[in-house]
């Protein structure tokens, strides 16, 4: 057998290693991208909103506390204009949240 | 698979697999057996539509990473990633000045996986511009443009220009400040060619300024016309790689006798029958003089490498996309340009030259550069050491020296221009004088004199080509670095850490 | 199946070499590589399908306001063209009926005058009466009725996701 071909067969073994390593890195990165796409910054603010809302209502003796959940809030102002402030600042137009730390300090959009 | 049959034995699974692959339907789809012998391995490549662009057998030299650096296939895989992500982005993007920016914000905030797809499209685009250019440098320095590959080199240069146009047209689509002003600057360069400049700009923008007409035109160019054109040129480019005898590689044996069998050149009336493969021009794996012992089957030696390179490319693009978000600035505002307004990075070398003379820097230099690069294989057609990096030790040294010379001459010329430039000595100099006396022109003339001196002294056109290409490369890299990192507001010199504007 | 072609080995494949002592076998490297690569190709593929389902729609909201009750003449059927629904105002009160054919979503035609008036769908000829019932044609079920309420500014309000029975009236 030609020595070049022996060397080539030896090289293919290195490529098998490369395949395994690169494949695992790719799979890890995909899982990471899935998580990063899910765990957006505004989700944190909406979770704060939900817990604050429940705190306000439970203080008023409301029994069945609502769960506002995580939603994509967009106010469609016109076909070409969209208001996205409530994605992070949910409850910005709710007077009960006027003193809330997640609203106060933020100018109205 | 024979390992598998050993361990699974006569299990039901392997019997089912055996039954499936022996059915008439399966054998009508996959015409060859399990590729565990060389005939089936070659059939696997030869009979498969997606693989048939590859030869059935490849030379071991072609498979060495140092021979090609895999840049061509990396560029191709980036192109595939761009097509997939680009088509997906089209589902949400509307090319209207009212909606475009809003759609980008939607992709960023409310569409699942919108950010990652947009990031991947952006970074793969930059990656493709870079990969195509470095691929061109590889082909140049390994002398792979020599006959019979001259025209494929020309096609490659066309692909490079098309890649830049694709990237440039895509740059406008987000309709933010970065996009709007980069295209305003870039399309103004199109107005500088004498006589037809304004016509070209008007046709490109569909109006006198960057507005709805320009957005729609750039969109149609970006998603329909240029992809179709580049796909067709790409198909011919890849097809010719095969027809010109595979990748260039060093010749074997003393003397390098290398008969080529071109159609019509031989005596065909010998009563022999020829397979189609024998008609291929140039040195095909079948008609060459090299012994078959130096070849291996493309399956798996080439196909497996391609698979690994593909997964690696995808991984790299994903990694960059997770780390860095594609820039999206404020919505385009035609009354307030950001300072500085910069073109995409691959045009910043040109923008630096444009700042001296728009005609020379924006039209003559790029025009001559593209034309000159295209003409390389018609000026240097000596069959000298093809497939060998830098041809020889002398070539390697010359390449380093000339790129260094090109790199150093740029800052020197810029400083000379700042101190003793025409406009500093003679403020009212007519424009024609400014176009003639400026760093860009000096650079061009310097390179021309330098490389023709090399040809005269060495008597080798190849060395002359190396001198010209390397000094161009060195100058381009330094110009791009200066344009990117050392130019701030009002295009004055700044140090990189004093940069205020954004740009990509 | 290789037997069909006979033994055509020009060279030993990588397998012969791989018999040297190897800490990790070729098979396990390839399995890891293939499984991981398929995860990282099928995963994004599924993610891209998820991408095609928008989270925010730019459609008209399902709840909207109509005119004030007094603007609908007594004993009349008004067709709200933009909203694709009929507003009935009779002695029992107000009702809102969908004008979207249950067959293939065309807008059904207007009701004629008189007691036994019917509405015909122009697309495939389904015929509906004033109770939304299918009299003839391919429509599989009756037209929907929507709950009517009064908005704070005194206008009728409809939510097309709130479907009620045909005998549910809204009284001012």
pLDDT greater than 90 at residue C42: yes
Determine the Cα–Cα distance for residues B414 and B427; give it in Å rounded to an integer. Answer: 18
Which distant-in-sequence residues (6+ apart) come within 8 Å of A49 by Cβ? A68, A90, A91, A97, A102
CB pairs under 8 A between A and B: 74
Q: 3-class SS at A37?
A: helix
Determine the Cα–Cα distance for residues B419 and A102; give it in Å rounded to an integer. Answer: 56
Q: CB distance C37–B300 less than 8 Å? A: no
Q: CB distance A19–B311 less than 8 Å? A: yes
Identify the CATH number of the domain defined by range C63-164.
2.102.10.10
Section A34-40 average pLDDT: 88
- The C-alpha torsion from B232 through B233 and B237 to B239, rounded to 10°, is 20
Q: Which long-range contacts (CB under 8 A, 24 or more apart) does A11-14 make?
A: A11/B63, A11/B64, A12/B300, A12/B301, A12/B304, A12/C14, A13/C14, A13/C17, A13/C18, A13/C22, A13/C26
pLDDT of residue B293: 65
Query: What confidence tens digit (pLDDT) does each residue in B296-353 have?
Result: 888 888 999 999 999 999 999 999 999 999 988 888 888 888 877 777 888 888 888 8
pLDDT greater than 90 at residue B2: no
Query: What confidence tens digit (pLDDT) does each residue in C10-40 have?
Result: 344 444 444 455 677 888 999 999 999 999 9
B273 vs B46, B277, B281, CA distance in Å? Answer: 21, 12, 17
- CB nearest B318 (choices: A4, A33, A81): A33
CB of A96 less than 8 A from some CB of B: no
Q: Would you place residue A32 in the very low, low, confident or very high pLDDT band (cuts 50, 70, 90)? A: very high
Assess contact for B104 and B175: CB atoms under 8 A: yes
pLDDT of residue A80: 65
Phi (first) and psi of residue B297, to 5 degrees: -70, 145
DSSP B211: S
How close A89 gets to chain C, by Cα (Å)?
Answer: 17
Q: Where are the domains of chain A?
A: 1-39, 41-97
Q: Where are the domains of chain B?
A: 2-57, 58-238+294-338, 344-504
Query: What confidence tens digit (pLDDT) does each residue in B177-211 have?
Result: 989 988 888 888 788 887 888 898 999 999 888 99
Determine the Cα–Cα distance for residues B202 and B208; give it in Å rounded to an integer. Answer: 6
Q: CB distance A20–C33 less than 8 Å? A: yes
Q: Find, in chain A, the residue whose alpha carbon is nearest to that of C50.
A: A34
Q: Would you place residue B291 in the very low, low, confident or very high pLDDT band (cuts 50, 70, 90)? A: low
Helix axes B298-323, B71-90, angle to 10 degrees: 50
Which distant-in-sequence residues (6+ apart) come within 8 Å of B150 by Cβ? B377, B378, B381
Q: Which CATH architecture has domain B58-238+294-338?
A: Up-down Bundle (1.20)
CB pairs under 8 A between B and C: 63
pLDDT greater than 60 at residue A107: no
pLDDT greater than 70 at residue B481: yes
Choice between A102 and B368, residue whose per-residue pLDDT is larger: B368
pLDDT of residue C12: 41
Name the token pair of B195: 């006589």
Which distant-in-sequence residues (6+ apart) come within 8 Å of B362 by Cβ? B189, B192, B350, B353, B354
pLDDT of residue B214: 95
Q: CB distance B109–A30 less than 8 Å? A: no
pLDDT of residue B488: 78
Highest mean pLDDT among A38-42, A105-109, C58-62, C89-93: C89-93
Section B441-470 average pLDDT: 90
Determine the Cα–Cα distance for residues B472 and B483; give it in Å rounded to an integer. Answer: 16
Query: What confidence tens digit (pLDDT) does each residue in A42-93 have?
Result: 888 888 888 888 888 877 777 777 777 777 766 666 666 777 777 777 777 6
Query: What confidence tens digit (pLDDT) does each residue in B362-413 have?
Result: 888 888 889 989 999 998 888 877 888 988 888 999 999 999 999 999 889 8
CB of C18 less than 8 A from some CB of A: yes
Name the token pair of B468: 């010209």
Q: Which range, of B286-290, B322-326, B417-421, C83-87, averages the lowest pLDDT?
A: B286-290
Q: Which range, of A27-31, A86-90, C107-111, C140-144, averages the lowest pLDDT?
A: A86-90
- Using alpha carbons, select from C116, C112, C139, C138 the residue that is nearest to residue C129: C116
Query: What confidence tens digit (pLDDT) does each residue in C72-90 have?
Result: 999 889 999 988 999 999 8
- CB nearest C5 (choices: B39, B84, B292): B39
A76 vs A79, B92, C55, CA distance in Å? Answer: 7, 16, 14
Q: CB distance A1–C26 less than 8 Å? A: no
pLDDT greater than 90 at residue B267: no
Scanning the structure block, which residue is given the tokens 């004030």?
A: C68
- CB nearest B63 (choices: A8, A23, A82): A8
pLDDT of residue B276: 53
Q: CB distance C2–B34 less than 8 Å? A: yes
Query: What confidence tens digit (pLDDT) does each residue in B77-126 have?
Result: 999 999 999 999 999 999 999 889 989 988 988 899 999 999 999 999 99
Highest mean pLDDT among B17-21, B270-274, B316-320, B348-352: B316-320
Q: Would you place residue A33 in the very low, low, confident or very high pLDDT band (cuts 50, 70, 90)? A: very high
What value does the mean pLDDT of chain B take? 84
pLDDT of residue B262: 39
Scanning the structure block, which residue is given the tokens 């490297």?
A: C29
Determine the Cα–Cα distance for residues C118 and C115; give it in Å rounded to an integer. Answer: 9
Percent of chain B with pLDDT over 90: 41
Neighbours of chain A (3+ CB pairs under 8 A): B, C
Q: Would you place residue B5 in the very low, low, confident or very high pLDDT band (cuts 50, 70, 90)? A: very low
Q: Find, in chain A, the residue whose alpha carbon is nearest to that of C33.
A: A20
């Amino acid at each position: 057998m030609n020595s070049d071909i022996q060397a080539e067969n030896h090289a293919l073994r290195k490529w098998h290693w490369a395949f395994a390593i690169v494949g695992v890195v790719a799979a890890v990165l995909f899982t990471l991208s899935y998580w990063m796409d899910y765990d957006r910054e505004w989700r944190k603010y909406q979770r704060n909103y939900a817990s604050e809302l429940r705190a306000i209502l439970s203080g008023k003796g409301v029994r069945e506390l609502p769960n506002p959940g995580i939603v994509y809030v967009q106010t469609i102002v016109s076909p070409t204009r969209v208001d996205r402030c409530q994605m992070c600042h949910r409850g910005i137009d709710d007077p009960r949240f006027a003193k809330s730390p997640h609203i106060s300090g933020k100018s109205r959009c | 698979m024979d390992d598998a049959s050993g361990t699974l034995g006569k299990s039901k699974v392997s019997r089912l697999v055996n039954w499936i692959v022996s059915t008439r339907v399966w054998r009508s789809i996959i015409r060859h057996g399990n590729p565990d012998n060389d005939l089936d391995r070659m059939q696997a490549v030869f009979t498969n539509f997606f693989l048939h662009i590859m030869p059935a057998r490849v030379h071991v030299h072609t498979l060495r990473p140092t021979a090609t650096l895999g840049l061509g296939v990396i560029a191709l895989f980036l192109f595939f990633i761009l097509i997939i992500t680009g088509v997906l982005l089209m589902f949400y993007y509307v090319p209207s000045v009212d909606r475009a920016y809003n759609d980008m914000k939607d992709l960023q905030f409310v569409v699942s996986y919108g950010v990652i797809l947009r990031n991947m499209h952006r970074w793969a685009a930059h990656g493709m511009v870079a990969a195509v250019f470095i691929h061109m440098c590889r082909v140049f320095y390994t002398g792979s443009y020599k006959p019979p590959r001259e025209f494929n080199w020309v096609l490659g240069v066309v692909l490079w220009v098309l890649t830049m146009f694709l990237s440039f047209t895509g740059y406008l689509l987000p309709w933010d400040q970065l996009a709007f002003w980069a295209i305003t600057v870039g399309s103004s360069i199109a107005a500088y060619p004498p006589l037809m400049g304004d016509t070209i700009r008007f046709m490109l923008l569909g109006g006198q300024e960057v507005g709805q007409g320009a957005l729609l035109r750039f969109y149609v160019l970006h998603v329909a016309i240029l992809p179709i054109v580049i796909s067709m040129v790409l198909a011919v480019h890849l097809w010719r790689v095969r027809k010109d005898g595979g990748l260039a590689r060093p010749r074997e044996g003393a003397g390098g006798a290398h008969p080529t069998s071109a159609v019509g050149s031989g005596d065909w009336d010998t009563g022999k029958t020829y397979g189609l493969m024998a008609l291929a021009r140039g040195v095909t794996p079948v008609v060459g003089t090299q012994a078959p012992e130096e070849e291996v089957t493309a399956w798996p030696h080439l196909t497996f490498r391609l698979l690994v390179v593909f997964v690696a490319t995808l991984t790299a693009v994903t990694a960059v996309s997770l780390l860095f978000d594609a820039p999206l600035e404020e919505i385009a505002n035609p009354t307030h340009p950001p300072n500085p307004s910069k073109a995409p990075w691959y045009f910043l070398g040109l923008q630096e030259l444009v700042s001296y003379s728009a005609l020379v820097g924006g039209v003559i230099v790029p025009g001559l550069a593209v034309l000159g690069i295209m003409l390389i294989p018609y000026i240097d057609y000596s069959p000298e050491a093809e497939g060998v990096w830098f041809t020889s030790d002398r070539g390697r040294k010359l390449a380093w020296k000339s790129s260094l010379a090109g790199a150093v001459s740029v800052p020197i010329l810029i400083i000379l221009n700042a101190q003793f430039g025409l406009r500093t000595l003679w403020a009212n100099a007519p424009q024609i004088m400014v176009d003639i006396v400026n760093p860009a022109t000096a650079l061009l003339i310097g390179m021309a004199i330098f490389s023709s001196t090399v040809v005269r002294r060495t008597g080798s056109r190849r060395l002359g080509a190396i001198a010209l290409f390397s000094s161009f490369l060195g100058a381009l890299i330094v110009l791009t670095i200066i344009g990117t990192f050392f130019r701030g507001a009002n295009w004055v010199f700044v140090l990189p850490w004093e940069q205020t504007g954004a740009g990509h | 199946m290789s037997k069909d072609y006979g033994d055509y080995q020009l060279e030993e494949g990588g397998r012969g070499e791989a018999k040297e002592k190897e800490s990790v076998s070729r098979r396990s490297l390839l399995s890891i590589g293939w499984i991981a690569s398929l995860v990282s190709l099928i995963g994004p593929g599924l993610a891209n399908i998820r991408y095609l389902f928008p989270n925010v729609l730019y459609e008209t909201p399902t709840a909207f306001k109509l005119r004030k009750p007094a603007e609908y003449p007594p004993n009349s059927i008004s067709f709200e063209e933009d909203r694709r629904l009929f507003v009935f105002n009779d002695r029992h009160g107000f009702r809102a009926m969908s004008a979207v054919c249950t067959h293939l979503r065309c807008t059904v035609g207007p009701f004629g005058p008189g007691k036994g008036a019917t509405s015909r769908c122009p697309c495939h000829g389904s015929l509906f009466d004033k109770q939304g019932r299918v009299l003839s044609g391919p429509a599989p079920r009756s037209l929907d009725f929507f709950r009517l309420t009064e908005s704070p500014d005194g206008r009728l309000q409809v939510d097309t996701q709130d479907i009620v029975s045909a005998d549910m009236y809204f009284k001012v």
